[in-house]
Structure 1
């Protein structure tokens, strides 16, 4: 896929002096949360607070870095094994387990949506009752494994689908090796913007979100733009969840050309 010429990076997002040598990317998980709307599948987006160390002011999906607390082999688990996820994302099983746990944790922390249930077949119908636990997770006072064990909940890895793998360009002082997951909001749950990292949160058709970007109403980083473009071709959530994808690690480059910072994808001139 070729990025449009008008997709440039704000000057404040590119450091004057890139790190030398480049920073080693940190593992991270991003979750594309979908629901069916009157006009087709809608995606949950958040405009990040300006001034944040990474992607401040940009519109993105919920997600964040893997925490050491996400590495818990005793967590109750339903769905594809860590080995299956490792094969899809090209990593070892321990890292794959941590990535899935981080995806579930970040989704709950940033949107209030909990991908867990009291059994391998059930899903929590109302996650608001775990509001205190949500805040404890954000404050790193509680681990996801500890929360699930305390309430007898099972992590529903089978509700997630692997979508893509993006690595932050080498010029950035904060780099992430981010695996993107796709899921649909469980019946009875609601996504919210009750997170200190988002200035606003909302549902939007992918095509409408892209129109917002074209009109200058929001800023998109290349992984978000590409993902929205891909999802715009899906007729409903069910079809999006059944897409079979090859997961290749995408490592873009940043160049200054024609007076602006531009992102070049592998294979793009």
Structure 2
């Protein structure tokens, strides 16, 4: 019997992200920020405003992670985009925890908030180097066709947003849907080369048939993101 121990995953730090949306001239738009290329985590990627929950975000109650996450989300909106939102305005839309085999991990509360069309955006030009308002489907198309760098949680959130025509529809969708918590199983290496024919990656979500075993050949029920030469492809057969 093997006595080899499974390494303990790195701690996942509490974090918060805000999906800022508005009604543009041609429908729903969301704010995307580009992280500086030199940043070790997700450098160069286009993301929603967000970051780690700081000590000061907890206030007097260090057990109230929900209130701390909302404060952190509102603070990050100001710091990264110059946009002020109230913590109680935020609608919880998902919770994402970085896969256990990643070196840097976050347990991130995702919120969504609508703002007026004319609200100005001011980036810090340090950690954040660019911003743009985009229709969710346009962002997905640019990811596939132009190489717009997106992380899987951003990609899937954009895919969900693309189903709504305006901010009211998007907010109602998340208000009515039970909060989804994701701990993706990230699969990289030999099996992805054998099955996909390349050195890409696959992230499996809880409903996927291969989630528990990590076997991407289990395809009876699929809920996964697959990295291809055209970026992430989201597959959901449930």
Structure 2 length as normaliser, TM-score? Answer: 0.76
Q: Does 1:193 align with 2:123?
A: yes
Superposed CA RMSD: 1.9
1:93 Cα offset (Å): 5.9
8 A Cα contact 1:111 1:195, kept in partner: no
Q: Does 1:248 align with 2:218?
A: no
The equivalent residue for 1:30 is 17
What secondary structure, in the 3-state scheme, does the structure 2 residue paired with 1:215 have? helix
Q: Does 1:56 align with 2:43?
A: yes
Distance in 1 between residues matched to 2:49 and 2:93, nearest whole Å: 14
Distance in 2 between residues matched to 1:54 and 1:265, nearest whole Å: 22
Distance in 1 between residues matched to 2:118 and 2:47, nearest whole Å: 24
Give CA deviations for 1:70-105 in whole Å, capped at 9, x if unaligned: 11149xxxxxxxxxxxxxxxxx96111110100100
Q: Structure 2 residue aligned with 1:263, among 203, 206, 214?
A: 203
The equivalent residue for 1:5 is none
Pairs aligned (count):
194
Q: How does 1:16-165 map to 2 (within 5 A)?
A: 20-73=7-60, 94-115=64-85, 156-165=86-95
Distance in 2 between residues matched to 1:193 and 1:241, nearest whole Å: 25
1:24 Cα offset (Å): 1.5
Structure 2: give runs of 5+ residues left out of the alignment.
1-5, 194-198, 211-238
Q: Structure 1 residue aligned with 2:105, among 175, 178, 184?
A: 175
Distance in 2 between residues matched to 1:73 and 1:55, nearest whole Å: 32
Q: Considering fraction of residues, name the structure with more strand.
A: 2
8 A Cα contact 1:109 1:195, kept in partner: no
8 A Cα contact 2:70 2:88, kept in partner: no
Distance in 2 between residues matched to 1:248 and 1:189, nearest whole Å: 30
1:254 Cα offset (Å): 1.4
1:188 Cα offset (Å): 5.4
Relative contact order, CA 8 A, sep 6+: which one is greater? 1
Distance in 2 between residues matched to 1:164 and 1:172, nearest whole Å: 20
Structure 1: give runs of 5+ residues left out of the alignment.
1-18, 75-91, 116-155
Say if 1:167 and 1:239 are closer, same or farther in 2 by CA, change over 3 A: same
The equivalent residue for 1:121 is none
The equivalent residue for 2:3 is none
Distance in 1 between residues matched to 2:148 and 2:89, nearest whole Å: 29
1:55 Cα offset (Å): 1.0
Give CA deviations for 1:100-149 in whole Å, capped at 9, x if unaligned: 1001000110000012xxxxxxxxxxxxxxxxxxxxxxxxxxxxxxxxxx
Give CA deviations for 1:206-230 in whole Å, capped at 9, x if unaligned: 0000000011331111101110000
The equivalent residue for 1:136 is none
